[in-house]
Structure 1
Amino acid sequence: MSGQSKIISLNITQFPQNLLIPDLENNVSIQVKNNSDKIEKFQFVFEGENLDIAFKSDILKDPIEFGPDETKTIDLMLKPTADGFGKLIINIYHIKVIEYTVKVQKVRKFIPKSMISKIFEKYTLKSNEVIDPINRDEYIASMTIKDLEKVEKQLETMKNSYLSTQTMNSTAVENSGVIRIENIDSIIKKLAKGHLYNNNISKSLELALELSNPNDQFDFYYKLLRVYATTNTEEAIAIIKKLKDFETKQILFKSLVSDKIDTDPTQSFKLTENIDDFILRTKLQFNIANILKKRENHPELIKVINQIVQFLLKSLDEIDDRKIQKRIYEFLIDSMHILAEIEEPRLVDVIIDGLRIPKRKEQIKKDLFDTIYEIVEEIRTKSELETVFSQFFLLNTFVSDITLDIKDFSSKGGNLSNNLILKDFNFNIAFVSLFGFSFSLFPIMDRVYNELKNNSNNSFAYYIFPSTEDFQKNELSNLKNTLTQFFQNFTYLHNQLIVFNLDFIPYLGTPTIILSEESLLAEKIKSKIGKISDKINIISDNSLFEGGKILDSLKQIFPSSKCAIINFIFSYEFLNDYNMLKTVIQSLC
C-alpha cells in the first residue's frame, strides 16, 4: 500500500464494517480534496477482486477537474461475488500537464522573399523562339461578292492569256506585253484576301496553293491561317490539325500562340497544349503567366500556374528521357515557387503531400524547403499520470448461503474472519466479541488476522456480533444460529479450541487484561502474555463474568470436549497500541 501525496487528501466517511453480502447496500463514501491553489485534474481507478463496483455518479468515467481547494464526494456501492474476501483497490492519478519545447517543421504563412520576377526573367524567350507579329490588314481586302466575282473573271482571263503565251518564243513574249506569272500571283493573293475578308477560309487557302512558287504557297497559306485565327480560332485549329506535315502544324500552332499572347493570354495558354516541343511549350506558358501578372489578372494567373504545376507533375511520370526529366523538374520547382508566392505556401504543401512517390515527395520538399517550410520552436503540452494515492482494502464476503439470520447479522454490523467463511479450521483460538461499541472492532481485528496469517504460521479466528438489543429473544436466536452456521465443523479441529469471549473497558491508565478465572489454562495464558512485556497488567477476576445468557449460549454451541471458553477483557489502551495488541494475540496462537 502507499499513502497519499500532498496535492490531494482523502477522507473515507463511510466504509462497510460488516460482512459483505449481495442483498445489502454496501456503501463507500470518500471525500477527496484538491490541496492545490490551482485547477487540477485527477483520474480515479477503482478495481475489485470478487467485488462488483457500482458508481453512483458518471463523473468517474473521465478525469475529474477540481477547482483550487475544492472537495468532491465519490460514492460507490460494493457487491460481493464469491465467498472469502473481496479486494477493493483504489488508485488515484494526478494528471500533470507538462510544457516542453520542440523544433518542428511548419508550413510558412508567407514566402520569405519574392522570386517571381527572377523566375519569369529566366524564361524570357530567345530571339529564335520569338515569332514576329502579323499585320492583319495586309492579308485582308475589303471586297463584296460582286467584287470577288469580277476579280475571279479577271483571274480566269489572265490565266487563259498566260497559257496562250506559252507557245510563243521568249522574244515574242517580251515584245507582246502579255500577262506574266507574277501578275497572276498578285491577282490570286488579292482574291484570297477578299475571300478571307468574307470568312471563306477554305477558298482563301485553296487560292494560296495556286501560287506559282512553292515557298510563296506555304508562306501565304500560313499567314492567311494566322489572320483567320485571330477571329476564328477554333476553326483555324481544326484546319491545322488536318494538315499532314507535322513541322508545318507545329509552326502554325506556335504562331497562333504568339498572335494571341497579348490580345487573349488565356486562349493563348490553351493553344500551347498543341505544341509538341515540351521545353518551348513550358517557356511560352511561363511568358503567358508573366503577362497575366503584369496585367494584375490574379485569378487567371493562379489558374494558369496551377495548370502548369499539374501538367509538369504528370509529365514527370510519362516522359522517360532523363535530360528532359531534369528540365521538367526545374520547371516544376519554379512553378511551385510562383504558386507559393501568389497564393500561399500551404497550397503547395497540399500538392506535395498528395504525391504518390515518396522519394519524389521528399526531394521536392527538400528543394522547396526555404520557400515553403520553416523550423520553429513550438511549446507543446503532454499529460503524465503521477500516482498520488494507491491503496487496497480487504473485506470479508459471503454469497453462497444467505439466510435471514445472515442478513440480520450483516445488517447490524456483524463480521467474521475469512477462515470461518471458507470453513478452514486450522486455528486453535477464536475471539468472539458480542458487545456493541461506539466504534467497530472489525478493522483492527482483521488487520491483526491478515498480518499474522500472511507473515507467520500463526492463525486465529474472530467473530464480531455487535449487540444492539441486549440479546432479546430475536437477537439471541440470531447469535446462536450464525455462530452455529460458522462454527459447525468441530470434527476438523486438531487441538482444543480456546474461545475468548472478548470485551473492552475504558482506559485504566495501564494496558490491562482481565481474565475470568484462576485455572491451569488461565495461568498458561497469563504466562504467555507476561513474557511479552512487564508493562501489561493481568488480572484474574471471575466476579465480573458470573452467569449470564451469553455465556450459557456459548457453552451450548462450543462443546466442552473440544473447546474451552475464557472471558477476556482488554482495556482501551490496547486499541491505541496496535503493535501491543497484535503481539498479545500472536502469543496466544
Structure 2
Amino acid sequence: MAKKSPSDSISIELLNYPQSLLLGNQDYELSFSVKNNSESIESYAFNFTSTTSDISVDKSYIKGVSFNSGESKIVPVKIRPKIEGLTELNVIIYYQKKIEFKSMDWKIKKNVEKSIVSKIIGKTQVNFDDLKGYKKKLPKSISLGDIPSLSKSKAKKELDKIKSVPSIKVHTREIERKIITQVPKTITKQVPEKIIKKIPRVIEEIIPQEPLVNAINGKKFERPPLKTTKTVYESIEETVMKTVTETVYEEKIETKIDIVEDTTLPSKKGEITLKQKDETLSRIAKGVFNQDPQYAFAIVKMISDPNKRYANISQFVPPGIRLDSKTTIEAVMGLDLGPQKEALIEIIANSLAAEKPDEAAMIALNIDNIAKRDEIITNIIFTAAYLKPQIASNLIYQLSKKELQHQILFELVKGWAHKDKKRAIESLKSLISNILSESNIELIKTCMIFLAYLTDPQSVYDLIDGFRSKDDKSLLVEQLQEYLKVKVQTKKIKLESQELSKLYFTFTAISKKITPALNYLVELKGNISSNLIEGNISSNIIVICPFKFNFPIFMNFQSCYVELLQETQKTFGFLLFPSKENYSEEELKHFHNILNNFIKNQTNQHPSPFVIINLDLIPYFSKPTIFLGDNGDPLIKDIHSKLKGNFTNEINLMINNSFFSQGKSFIELQNILKEPNFRICNIILTYNFLNDIGLLKTFFKAILS
C-alpha cells in the first residue's frame, strides 16, 4: 500500500466551535481533535496565533508531538478576545520529517580517569607539620645539674631564709624636693552691713610627718616636720555685723623624700644584693619544679630581673605541659614576657593540638605575627583532621587569608575522601559555592574534578546547571570539558518542519462594554454578527431570529455571512436571541436593550430604511419552502420578487396575509424599531434550508440584491 503524503497524514477538527458570543471577561477553551492518519509514527507541531485575542496552549504542541499510527489527541487552546467584533484564530500545522545523521559530540564520562585523580591527590596545596606526637617528645622534667631537688616544704624553708636575713644590701639616699601648693580653706567671719575693716595676721604651723618604711626589710626612716604658714583676716565691727563665709588660699610647702637603691656603698655583714636574691629564687624554683610545678612558677614570679624570669619560664614550659598543663598555661598567659612570650605560646599550642585542637587554636590567636599564627593554626587543623574533623573544619575560619582557608579545606577533603566520603562531598560542595565569585579558576576546576571523582561527572554538570551566573556556567563547562567529557560519534535524528496546512477560525466577540443583557444573551447561547457589533453594516438587511431551537443555527448563518462578504463585499447583519421564557418581562428587558444598542443605534446609516427580517424556522417539508407574511407593506412584494428571481422550481415560495403576517415578536420589534427608519417583515423557512447551505446562502443573497 502506498504511503500517504504528509498533507493527507493528519486531520484536525474544532470540536466545540462557540455558538454564542465570546466575552472579554472570561477564557474559553477550544478543543481541537487531531488524528494521525499515517501508518507509521509521525511527529507534528502546531502554531496557534491571534492578533485579536489572548491565547495559551501547551508548549509541547508548539515544539512537536509524536503520534502513533491512527492515534488521536485533543489539543486544548484557551482564548480570550480583546477586540469588539470579529476575532480570529490562525492554526498552522507542520509535519516534522525525521532526518538521521552522524555527529561527533562531547559525551559526559562515567567516571574520572585515575591518572587525573592521582595527580590531584599527589599535588599538595599547603605544607604542614603533624603535631600528633609533639607532646610526647617534650621532656617530663628539667635537668637540675648541681641544684638539689627540693620538696615544697624544703623550698618554703629556703624561701624563708631569704625573708629572715637581718638586712639586705639596699641603702637609701634621701632626696628632698620642695613642693609648694595653694590650699583652699573656708573661714567664717563677721562682716558689717555698711563698713568692714580687715586686719590680716600670719600664723605659722608645724605639722609632724610619719616615718618612711623600707618595703623590703621594714626599716623606718624619720622625716623632719612640715612647716606651713597661713594668713587669716580679722574684722572690726563698726556698724551692724553679719556672719559670712569666705574661701581663702594658703601656701603649703612640703618636702618629699625619694628612696633609691644605692649599689655604690659597701656591703655590710649579712646583706645580699637583688641579683643574689634573684639567683637564689631561681635555684629554689628549679629545685622544686619537678615535684611541684605550680609552686615553682609562683617563686619565679618573685624574680625581679625580667630576663632571668623568662629564662626560668622558658625552661619550665616544655616539661610543665606534661606535668601540669593548666598551671603552665596560666603562668605563661599571666606574665608580661614581651615578644619572647610568642615562642612559649607556640610550644603550648603545638602540645595541645592533638588532644584539644580548639583550645590550642584559641591560644595561638594570642600571637601577633600573622604569618606565624597562620602557620601554627594550619598545623593544628591538619593534626585534628582525622581525630576531630568537625573542629578542624571550624578552625579553618580562624586563618587570616581566604585563599589559605580554601586550600586547606581542599586538602582536608582529599584526606577525608576514603575515610568519610559523605563529609568530603558536602565540604567540597560548600567550598565550590564559596569560591565561585573569586578568580581562582584553577582551584575551582580542581575541586570540580575531584567532586566528579567522589560522585560522578554527571552530578558535577547538574551542580553547574544550578549556578545563577551564565558566565560561570559557560567558563566551567569549557574548563572541565577535557577532563570530564569524551568526544564520540553518535547517530542523531533531527526534525525538519514542513508546513502542511493553514486553518483560519473566526468568532464574534465583545471585550469591553459587557452589559447584563449581553451576559444573558451568552447564557441563551445567542449571538450577534460582527458588523452589528462594530457598527459598520454594509447593507440595509438585518435578520433577527428571536426563537429557540433544539439545535444550533449560528454556524449556518455565519458561513453564509462570511462567504457573501468575501464574494460580494456586502452581507447582512443578524441577531440570534433564542428566548427561553417566551419573552417574560425580564427577558423582554434584555431583548429591548440589545435591539437599542446594536440595531436601533447603528451609526452607519443607509439612504434607504433598514429591512428587519423577523425569521422563524419550521420542520421539514417535502420541498424546501419559504413563507412570507403579508402585512400590507409593499416591501413584501419586493422581497417576493427577489426570491422568485433567484430560485427556480427547487423551492416553494408562499405569501400568507393572515397566519404569518403578525405575532408577538413582530409587535415587540415594531415597538422598538419604528418607521420610517425600519421596515419589518416576517419570513419562515423550513429546516430544509439548514441542511442545504447552498439554499440558505441563495436566500440571503436574494434579499440582499
Q: TM-score scaled by structure 2?
A: 0.42
Q: TM-score scaled by structure 1?
A: 0.50
Structure that is richer in strand per residue:
2
